[in-house]
Structure 1
Amino acid sequence: MISSLWKPEMRVEALVSTLEQRVLLNDLDLNLHMNNGRFLTVCDLNRVDLFIRTGLAALMVKNKWAPIIVRHTMDYRKSLAPFQKYSVSMTISRWDEKYFYATHQFISKGKVVAEGESTAVILGRQGVVPPAQVIEAVNARQGRVEALPS
């Protein structure tokens, strides 16, 4: 999370977060490979990177908004062994009047080891904050006024 503060600002038209990671001992399950739950936690780290780099984290604090994952799927193709390097990328692929949709891809040694999709909302005091309103707020925080179509 802290390293995200020094990364370049992320723009709405390029919502891709990539993190370089290594499997640590606390990531392992009884089979001595990365636990399936840890994959989902790493996806959370991608989201936090995006929140910080777009300025959305500050907007969420200011407006008392909360990001909520309503669905997450993950397909596992290969194991990740202790200390193995991997990268994970998250792309906000689209949004509609209620949800943001993100794709996640874990790659190691040039091969996809897992991939999935998550669906999320931003929840405010009055309920779900429409994605168009969130995008408009992010653009305004970045000094931009245009809103992008979903």
Structure 2
Amino acid sequence: MPANALISRLRLRTLPNDLDINLHMNNGRYLTICDLNRVDLFIRSGLAKLMLKRRWMPVIAEHTMTYKKPLKLFDAFEVSLTVTHWDEKFFYMTHTFMASDRVVAIGTSKGVILSRQGVVDPLTVMRAVEESRGIVSTVV
């Protein structure tokens, strides 16, 4: 799969429903936005269609966040998701939240794709996505 298919970028703005009692973005909202990043990647790569067809389900096994600076009401920010690597079971991802060329938060995720038989190994997933997109497999 081409490298750009493993990156998702979303440009967003902090809205009133994103805020907590301290009037900055709620920590739970960061996790929701990480989910949106992953869904964007699934759709853009063709994985969403493949998951529906094969009845696969994406599941996050672990997620951590480090908060550096608050996002306040109406702050513009960009969040990028990069799939950094995978092993025999998990995909590993980094979510970077940027505002005004400054990192405001970083998250890491570890996720799997599940079928009714159990975990679908990432190599099988990547090859299936490439095949569905008509790409000669480059995944080793």
So what's the TM-score if we normalise by structure 2? 0.97
Q: Which residue of 2 aligns with 1:110?
A: 101
Counterpart residue identity of residue 51, structure 1:
F
1:145 to 129, 133, 136: 136
2:3 to 4, 8, 13: 13
2:80 to 89, 93, 109: 89
Q: Does 1:28 align with 2:16?
A: no
Counterpart residue identity of residue 79, structure 2:
V
Secondary structure at 2:25 match in 1: coil
1:133 to 116, 124, 127: 124
* 1:147 CA displacement: 3.8
Between the aligned partners of 1:53 and 1:98, the Cα distance in structure 2 is 22
Q: Which residue of 1 aligns with 2:64?
A: 73
Consecutive aligned runs of 4 or more in structure 1 exceeding 6 Å deviation = none
1:60-114 C-alpha deviation (Å, 9 max, x unpaired): 0000000000000000000000000000000000001000000010000110000
Aligned pair in 2 of structure 1 residues 54, 17: CA closer, same or farther (>3 Å)? same
Between the aligned partners of 2:52 and 2:98, the Cα distance in structure 1 is 32
In terms of mean alpha carbon deviation, does 51-60 or 140-149 score higher?
140-149
1:18-59 C-alpha deviation (Å, 9 max, x unpaired): 000000000000000000000010000110000001100000
Segments of structure 2 that go 5 or more residues without pairing to the other structure are none
* 1:12 CA displacement: 4.2
So what's the TM-score if we normalise by structure 1? 0.90
Q: Which residue of 2 aligns with 1:38?
A: 29
1:93-136 C-alpha deviation (Å, 9 max, x unpaired): 00010000000100001100000210000000100000000001
Between the aligned partners of 1:105 and 1:12, the Cα distance in structure 2 is 20
RMSD (CA atoms): 0.9
Between the aligned partners of 1:122 and 1:70, the Cα distance in structure 2 is 10
